Amino acid sequence: MPKPPPLELDPLQRDIAEAVRREQEEIRVREQARLAALAEKQRRDTEQARLAAETARLNAEAEARKKERLAELKIAQAEAQAKAEAAALANAAEQARLQEERKHVFPAYGAVARNGPAVSFASTAVPLGPATSAGILNALRTAKATLTATGTTLFGSPVLMGFAALLMPSPLGNGERFAMSVPLAELSSEPAETLREIADRQGTLEMQVGLGVRRLGAGTQVFVATSDDFHIRSSVMVLNAAYDLLNDVYQVALSNSPTDLLTWTPAISPGDQSTALPIVDTGSPAYSGASVVPIEGRLDLNPILVERWDRFIIVFPADSGIEPLYVVFSSPYEGATEKGKHSGRGFNPDETGDEMT
């Protein structure tokens, strides 16, 4: 059966149909544009997310590298600090070792020193018998009385008088440094409390007489001399002795020679309320060094002196049982060519003076 011919649309219907077609086309185009814009936005969002993720990754890697570098730097700094501290400790240990090698301890027994003369070389306390100690004290008192009666008013310069001598067993012993102390009461009546106050402020005590040493013949003479503040100084440094609990001694380190230590065993151990004197061990080791003897020195009215010795007043805590001491400390001589038997210090055995008188 043949198809019927299409219906012919009148112009109005055609216009309506065309308008509908155009409207549908516009809807399609707008939808395509919307979908395209949506796709573009999704693409941009995806790209931005990718870029943000990449940036975060790069930042994280950079931060990780930074932390790694900081950790390495800290490790390097810690290693450098550890090496520096180890080097400092090694250097301190070496300095301590060298100082220990250079240190010289001049020991004395407090129970002996508080009652009479005490003599010591490095590491060696010289034992003095009762007769020797009494003889030296008597000679000192005689010399002091003679000087006090003579004074400097008549002569305008110091006068001196020997009271003890150290006789060396051989030329190699001559010139060794030694310390000798006597109770300060033999030379001054200054009370101990006043002396402690002077020591606390690192002051000095003015004295009209003092002790000194000079080489004569085969040994050394210890003398008492008047002071004139030109040849012989009148001011004497006053020092506090500190208790060393570890070694159970009172000690003084000399400010001008910190490697030299003067030590005294306690006459009364700190905290001990007993008034009995301690037993003094003088039997070890056997001593074979210089002989210390009292002498009846002649009065020297015109001495030629160069102060090659140190003088100190040492004060001890009130509970030590040791009264203040006057210490004379011989100095090492210039031009040294030999080492002392006890101290290891230099001296020149060829530089000996006149015979002992």
Q: Is the pLDDT of residue 274 over 70?
A: no
Model confidence pLDDT, tens digit, residues 100-154: 667 789 999 999 999 999 999 988 899 999 999 999 999 999 999 988 887 655 5
**CB contact at 8 A, 227 and 71:** no
Tokens 């300060």 -> residue: 184
Query: What is the tally of helices (H) and strands (E) in the chain?
Result: 4, 18
Given this model, what pLDDT does residue 103 score? Answer: 77
Residue type, 184: L
Given this model, what pLDDT does residue 119 score? Answer: 94
Would you place residue 77 in the very low, low, confident or very high pLDDT band (cuts 50, 70, 90)? very high
* Strands across the sheet containing 235-240: 124-126, 118-121, 178-183, 325-330, 309-315, 235-240, 204-206
* Mean pLDDT in residue range 176-201: 94
Phi, psi of 203 (to 5 degrees): -100, -170
**Please, how many CA atoms are within 13 Å of residue 281, restricted to the half-sphere of its CB?**
7
Given this model, what pLDDT does residue 20 score? Answer: 87
Q: Is the pLDDT of residue 9 over 90?
A: no
Percent of the chain with pLDDT over 90: 48
Given this model, what pLDDT does residue 309 score? Answer: 86
C-alpha span between 218 and 242 (Å, rounded): 36
pTM of the model: 0.65
C-alpha distance across the termini of the chain, in Å:
175
Least confident of 144-153, 265-274, 276-285: 276-285
**CB contact at 8 A, 305 and 231:** yes
Of residues 322 and 95, more confidence is placed in 322
Given this model, what pLDDT does residue 342 score? Answer: 37
Model confidence pLDDT, tens digit, residues 310-326: 899 999 998 889 999 99
Q: Is the pLDDT of residue 243 over 80?
A: yes
**CB contact at 8 A, 219 and 172:** no
C-alpha span between 39 and 353 (Å, rounded): 118
**Please, how many CA atoms are within 13 Å of residue 243, restricted to the half-sphere of its CB?**
15
C-alpha span between 186 and 116 (Å, rounded): 9
Query: Exposed e or buried b for every residue in 106-121, given b needs 16+ CB within 10 A?
Result: bbbbbbbbbebbbbbb
Can you read off the two tokens belonging to residue 235? 């001011």
Q: Is the pLDDT of residue 339 over 70?
A: no
Given this model, what pLDDT does residue 322 score? Answer: 94
Q: Is the pLDDT of residue 332 over 70?
A: no
Phi, psi of 270 (to 5 degrees): -55, 130
